Structure formats: C-alpha cells, structure tokens
Structure 1
Amino acid sequence: MRFTLTDEQTGFARSLDDLLYKADTAAVNRAWANGDHEPGLKLWSRLADLGVTSLATEATPVEVCIAFEALGRHAVPGPWIESAAYLPMALPDEDFSEKRATVAVPYALGADVADAVYALKDGSLHTATVGDPVTSIDRSRHLFDVVVGEPVETTTLDAAFELAALATSAQLLGAGERVLADTVAYAKQRKQFGREIGSYQAIKHQLADVRIALDFARPLVFGAAVDPTPRSVSAAKIQSSDAAHLASRVGLQVHGAIGYTDEYDLSLWLLRIRALQSAWGTTAFHRDRLLTELLDAR
C-alpha cells in the first residue's frame, strides 16, 4: 500500500509550520521554562484557531499526527497531548477545544495553566487538584503532583491511551527531524582542520544512520494513525523513540560541547526528546506489549 498525505493534509501541515516558524518557538519555550506563560498561551490560542485542539474528535488520527509532528518539530510547550489527544477521547461529552486541561499519569504536565485537572488512578479517571511541583529533566515541562478527587464517568480509556501514545510518537518524530536538520546545517558550516566537518565520512555516516532511522519511524507512525491498534501504536512509539534518541545523540556529538549549553537551541530538543521517550508508555512497556500482541497473534 502506498500512503501519501492528501493536498488538504499537506496544506494543513504547511500552515502549522508557517505559523510556528514565525512564532519563534525557541523563545516561547525559554519564556515558558522561566515561568512566563503569556507567549505560549497566545500561541496556544492561535493553534486552537487552526483547529489543533479539535482534531481528536473532529478529524482522524492522521491529522492528529500531522499536528503533533509540527508541535514536536518546533518544541511547542504545554500539555498538548493531555488536552488535545487524551482527554477529548476519554471525555467525549466535554468540549476541550476552548480550554486547556491536563491529566496526571502520575504527574500533571502544565497544571499551572490548565483550566481542568484530572488524574488516572487504578485504571479510572478522576478529578484532581494541583499539589506540589515536581522537577522535570525538561524545564519547560512543568510537572505537578496532584490530590486525587472523585471518579469521572468515561467511555473506554483504551482508545484515549492509544491516541495519546500515537501523538507522543509523532512529537518524537518531529523533534528528531528538527535535530537532524539543525545538525546537518551545523555540519555544513562548522570547520575543523580547514574543512567543513560535514565533509568527513564519519560524520556523514552517523547523519545517514539518523536519516534511515527516522525514515523507518515515519511509516510506522502514520500507519498506526490509519489503524491505531495496540500493536501498531507500540511499534510506532518504539521506533520513533529510538530514532529521536539516535538523532539527539548524534546531534550532540556533532555539535560538541556547545550542544550541552543552555543558551544553544539544540538543548531544547534534546531535553524534550528525553522526556517524551518515557511519556505515555516507556519503551520497555511498549516492547512488552508488542511482544504480547505478536505472540497472541500466532
């Protein structure tokens, strides 16, 4: 089967990229990390106007992946997966298109800007109130402990989890693509021993490995969007996590010491990738689930 995006989907992706490039999301991310939410909330409203917050219930998982790949490519901060993927599926009678919400699993991301906070406990969704902040490896991911309240009547939570894990995979894919693009650009301009470092075979081979890994991840992510079964979603999450991790590792190695610095934009994506790898199911969880699915299918 040959899968390609429609002209409408391609136009939607282009509109998102145009908006996010103009928004200077690196600056928005740094402001968010330092507690200045205003630029990020303005960006949230503009993305909501484009329909991103309504995709889970009014479009297909393919459009969700298109949007979340863009969010990952530009490292947009905020509880996007929780508010625009998980909760609209878990609580279909609620309208999340005009409000921000989050869910603790086990910590609540972005609870300081959420209009509603929920928590997953013992396989059920509950109301929750915000507790103490929790330190995250990514300073723009503001995490909070919560006090669990009353249970909330929901439809099945399985589909909501699959969409959240799939959206995370798309974010990882976008972040990995951004790290690769920035690393290639850096390798073309950074000189060592009188030559651009990108001209050295060792650098070329590492960048090629990242390109191949991301190219393997993309069809798994969008294939899972067409048929979001536990098997396909876990495969997408595993490959996108591994590919993004490889991109971050190679990106850091090619950039050298400057890649470690807080002031350099690369660090935004390195930390986001590290945090997303364990979000909505660790790699170990998804490997175990995929293995179980494959064995059950025998």
Structure 2
Amino acid sequence: MRLAPSTDQAGYAAAVHELLTDADLPGVASAWADGDVAPWRAMWSRLAGLGVTGLIVPERWGGLGGTVADLVVVAEELGHHALPGPVAESIGAVPALLAAAGRDGPADKWLPEIAAGRVVATLAAPPWLPFAADPDVADLILLAGTDTVWAGRADSAYPSIDAGRTLAEVSPAGVLASGAAGAVAQAMNMGALVCAAQLLGAGRALLETSIGYARQRTQFGRPIGSFQAVQHRLADVAVGLEFARPLLHAAAAHPGQRDRDVSAAKVACGEAAHRAARAALQVHGAIGYTREQGLGRWLTKVRALTLSWGTAEQHRARVMAELAKEARS
C-alpha cells in the first residue's frame, strides 16, 4: 500500500498546481464573494480540460476512470489554492453516488456532463451534511437519505464563515434512486476524503505562507523566523501535516472497506489544518486579519471544511463504533 503519491500522481498534481498558479485565484475568489461566478466558471472549465472534473467518472461516461488515490492528490492541490465552489461534492461525492447507483437514468444523463465540466453538482446528506454547499452555482442538486437519492431543490439559504461559500437547506423534488444504501455510504466516504485532502492542502499553504512571512518580518533587528519559539511552532505544524498525509492515502486505497480509516483521515487532516491556521495567525499577528494580506482565504476555508462532511466528534464516534465492533467479533 502506497502512503504517498506516485510519480504519475505527483506529475498530475503539478500540472494542476501550475494551472492554478497562473490563474488569478484571489481575483476569482473576490469576484465569487461579490456574486460574480463567471470567472470561477471559466476556471472550472479549465480544470475540466485537465480532466479534474471527470477524474473518477468511469470511462464509459466520458471520465478518466481514475482511482480515489488519484482524486485525493488533486483535491489536496485544490485546497492548497483555496479554490471556491462545491469541490468535494462535484468531483467526488456526486460522481461516486451516480456511478454506484446504476448505469441507467440519472448516471447516463449527468455523468458525461459532470465529466466535461458543463455541470456543477452539489449534495445534502443529513446528518453529516445537513446543507448543500453553493447551490447558487450548482446545475444539479441532490439530496441523499439512508438508502434513497432524490433530485433536490434549494430552499432556505445561509451565509458561511467562508466568503467563497454559501449553504442551503434542500428539499426532495423526485426520487432518482432507491435501495441505494451502499451508493450513499460510498459517496459519503468519498466526500469526506476529498474534504480531508482539501484541508491538508490548505494547511500546507498556511505553513508555506507562515514560513515566508517569518523570514521577512523582523523584530529586535532579526527575522522572527530565527526565534526558537516560532521555529518550534511551525515545526509542530509540519509534523502534524506529515502525520496526516499517510492516513489520508491509506484511507483512499480502500475507501469502501474501512469506514474508520476515512474518519481517522478526516479528523487528522482537520486537526492538522486547524493547527496550521492558528500558527499562521500567531506568526502574522494583526496583519493576518486584514483582507489585503489574503490569509483569510485559507483561514475561513479551513474553519468551514473542518465542520463539513462530518464533524470531528461524528468521525471519532464512528472510529470508536468500528473499534468496538471489532473487539466484539
């Protein structure tokens, strides 16, 4: 079992990184926050050109037929750049849900469009996912129950702590699949893993930004990065991120077989990203709160994603339940 990206996966992630680096992501995020999603749509189309939107869509529906391990490597890069939008839903959970629910009907209709980047999808699945993210940009909204999938209709909308994110309650508007308990469970694990990968990428970006600032900012005539307290704080962040990555890749290797591995990865990546966010604020000081500095794009996204796709408490409870089940068997 590989606990790190392969050479091919790293090369693909590098291509995504180059595309996002060359794009004006701060401008895209700012336009999104102001209600203009056209730049984001253009960005999404460019990602589709690289195959990101159809990465795990089976080839018969026009996708690349990639693995979950491929997906989390790319999702980490999307989190590294704080890309707005329903990322975990559109490239992970919804394609997995439609593909697992069956070939006929909804899958034939929507999966080719999702793979081509022409359709953006979002999902609500209480209790882990009580609200659908970014329904205002979604062309397809789904609602998932324990074993039923409905076409959804966005109702009451709520703002998120992340300016690049909106939330909405979803009501059912027609059954798409029934007897789909396995498909729903697979989709929930997929969404949690993509979310965990985004958190890992965001934590990495926060660490890189903190290191760069610590080298430039001087205090008492010296860069603050030369102070041992700052070094130790950032070293703790680096250790946390590196310890979370193998858990993510181990869970991605067999996401449908060990629910507790998915939950462990979500908790570990969330905690590592949260630690990176706290350290980034401490290193930057008051300037870290300013919009001009730009740190907030990652800070608010970490907060929002940590609470999405199952809270730490919900995932810890699932780990404990799985361990108790194994102890009894």
Q: Aligned partners of 2:250, 2:11: CA distance in 1, in Å?
A: 20
Q: Aligned partners of 1:223, 1:24: CA distance in 2, in Å?
A: 33
Which of residues 264, 279, 282 in structure 1 aligns to 2:293? Answer: 264
Structure 2 matches for 1:29-68, cutoff 5 A?
29-57=29-57, 58-68=65-75
* Match of residue 88 from structure 2: 81
Structure 1 segments, 4+ long, off by >6 Å, are: none
* Match of residue 234 from structure 1: 263
Q: CA deviation at 1:263?
A: 2.6
The TM-score, its normalising length taken from structure 1, stands at 0.96
Which of residues 212, 215, 222 in structure 1 aligns to 2:249? Answer: 222
* Match of residue 151 from structure 2: 127
Q: Aligned partners of 1:3, 1:148: CA distance in 2, in Å?
A: 39
Q: Bigger CA drift: 278-287 or 226-235?
A: 226-235
What RMSD over aligned residues (CA atoms) do the two structures have, in Å? 1.4
Q: CA deviation at 1:151?
A: 2.3
* Match of residue 108 from structure 1: 132
Q: Aligned partners of 1:86, 1:3: CA distance in 2, in Å?
A: 22
1:97 partnered with 2:126: no
1:75-121 deviation line (CA, Å, top 9, x unaligned): 00111111111111111124121311111232221211111111234
Q: What code does the residue aligned with 1:97 have?
A: A
Q: Which runs of 5+ in 2 are unaligned?
A: 58-64, 100-106
Q: CA deviation at 1:39?
A: 1.1
Q: Aligned partners of 1:5, 1:138: CA distance in 2, in Å?
A: 29
Q: CA deviation at 1:146?
A: 2.9
Which of residues 197, 210, 213 in structure 2 aligns to 1:170? Answer: 197
Q: Aligned partners of 2:140, 2:13: CA distance in 1, in Å?
A: 29
Q: Aligned partners of 2:48, 2:165: CA distance in 1, in Å?
A: 20
Q: Bigger CA drift: 159-168 or 221-230?
A: 221-230
Q: Is the 8 A contact 1:26 1:74 kept in 2?
A: no
Q: CA deviation at 1:295?
A: 1.8
Residue-pair matches, total: 298
Q: Aligned partners of 1:15, 1:91: CA distance in 2, in Å?
A: 28
* Match of residue 157 from structure 1: 184
In structure 2, the CA distance between the partners of 1:4 and 1:278, relative to structure 1 (3 Å rule), is closer
In structure 2, the CA distance between the partners of 1:134 and 1:190, relative to structure 1 (3 Å rule), is same
Q: Aligned partners of 1:133, 1:292: CA distance in 2, in Å?
A: 34
Q: What code does the residue aligned with 1:17 have?
A: H
1:289 partnered with 2:309: no
Q: Bigger CA drift: 93-102 or 17-26?
A: 93-102
Which of residues 281, 300, 303 in structure 2 aligns to 1:274? Answer: 303
**Matched residues, percent identical?**
43
Q: Is the 8 A contact 2:193 2:266 kept in 1?
A: yes
Q: CA deviation at 1:34?
A: 1.2
Q: Secondary structure at the match of 1:181?
A: helix
Q: Secondary structure at the match of 1:52?
A: coil
Structure 2 matches for 1:142-221, cutoff 5 A?
142-153=166-177, 155=180, 156-221=183-248
Q: What code does the residue aligned with 1:220 have?
A: L
1:226-256 deviation line (CA, Å, top 9, x unaligned): 1212011111001000000000001001100
Q: Aligned partners of 1:262, 1:247: CA distance in 2, in Å?
A: 19
* Match of residue 141 from structure 2: 117
* Match of residue 103 from structure 2: none
* Match of residue 5 from structure 1: 5
Q: CA deviation at 1:4?
A: 4.1
* Match of residue 70 from structure 1: 77
Q: Is the 8 A contact 2:4 2:245 kept in 1?
A: no
Q: Is the 8 A contact 1:26 1:75 kept in 2?
A: no
* Match of residue 102 from structure 2: none
Q: Aligned partners of 1:281, 1:152: CA distance in 2, in Å?
A: 24
Q: Aligned partners of 2:278, 2:194: CA distance in 1, in Å?
A: 22
* Match of residue 243 from structure 1: 272
